[in-house]
């Protein structure tokens, strides 16, 4: 019972993390609160991978809902034997937790790449990735951020929002890894196995 409640709490934690990922990703489309840059496609290319909206957002919401249903004591049995149903519930929980790792891991990687690449901004030489060749060193050298003339404060905007996305998706990965570990412990140390024996159904 305790492990089930803990699993339900972990699954429930994925929901606010996913909602915040959607919000943060949307904000990346409006640097300095302006909409004109999105309409003219003057944004860093990594925002168009929809890492926070789709993968760490909508897909993780679906994963969270499925995991919460699987943790419910009143879920429907998939076969006549209660032990058989537990096997399938455990297997499904592991599969969806693994999908959660994949979705949030995608957001984590893309957000890290976007952070290291830096913003797409207007410099004295025109619109370009001003810090693309610095291998992320610009992150610790705020004196060169003035190279980006437009949008205003776009460097800070990208650093803060991509960092938040990295943190949110990182937490999602951790939650899903804990769930996978919990399900594995049920299989290895519990009273049942996910291997279906002939004649059980």
146: buried, middle or exposed (CB in 10 Å: 19+, 13-18, 0-12)? exposed
Which range of residues forms the domain containing residue 90? 5-196
The mean pLDDT of the chain is 87
In a domain, 201, yes or no: no
Higher pLDDT residue, 161 or 6? Answer: 161
Q: What is the mean pLDDT of residues 71-88?
A: 62
Which is more confidently placed, 23 or 85?
23
Q: How many residues does the chain have?
A: 201
Counting the structural domains of the chain, the total is: 1
Q: How far is the C-alpha of 157 from the C-alpha of 87, rounded, in Å? A: 47
Per-residue pLDDT at 129 exceeds 50 = yes
Q: Measured between alpha carbons, how far apart are the two ends of the chain, in Å?
A: 25
Residue 178, Cβ neighbours under 10 Å: how many?
Answer: 14
* pTM across the whole model: 0.86
pLDDT of residue 200: 44
Residue 152 falls inside a structural domain:
yes
| Domain annotation covers residue 163 | yes
Per-residue pLDDT reduced to its tens digit, 139-189: 999 999 999 999 999 999 999 999 999 999 999 999 999 999 988 887 777
């Amino acid at each position: 019972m305790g492990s089930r409640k803990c699993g339900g709490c972990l699954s429930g934690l994925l929901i606010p993390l996913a909602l915040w990922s959607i919000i943060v990703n949307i904000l990346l489309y409006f640097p300095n609160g302006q909409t004109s840059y999105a309409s003219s496609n003057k944004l860093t290319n990594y925002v168009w991978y929809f890492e926070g909206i789709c993968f760490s957002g909508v897909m993780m919401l679906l994963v969270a809902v499925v995991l919460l249903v699987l943790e419910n004591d009143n879920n429907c049995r998939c076969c006549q034997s209660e032990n058989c149903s537990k096997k399938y519930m455990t297997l499904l929980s592991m599969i969806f937790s693994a999908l959660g790792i994949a979705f949030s891991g995608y957001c984590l990687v893309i957000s890290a790449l976007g952070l290291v690449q830096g913003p797409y901004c207007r410099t004295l030489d025109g619109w370009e990735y001003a810090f693309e060749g610095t291998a992320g060193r610009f992150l610790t050298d705020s004196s060169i951020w003035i190279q980006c003339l437009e949008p205003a404060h776009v460097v800070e905007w990208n650093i803060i929002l991509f960092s938040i996305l990295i943190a949110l998706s990182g937490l999602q990965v951790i939650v899903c890894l804990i769930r996978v570990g919990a399900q594995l412990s049920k299989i290895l140390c519990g009273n049942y196995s996910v291997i279906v024996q002939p004649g059980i159904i």
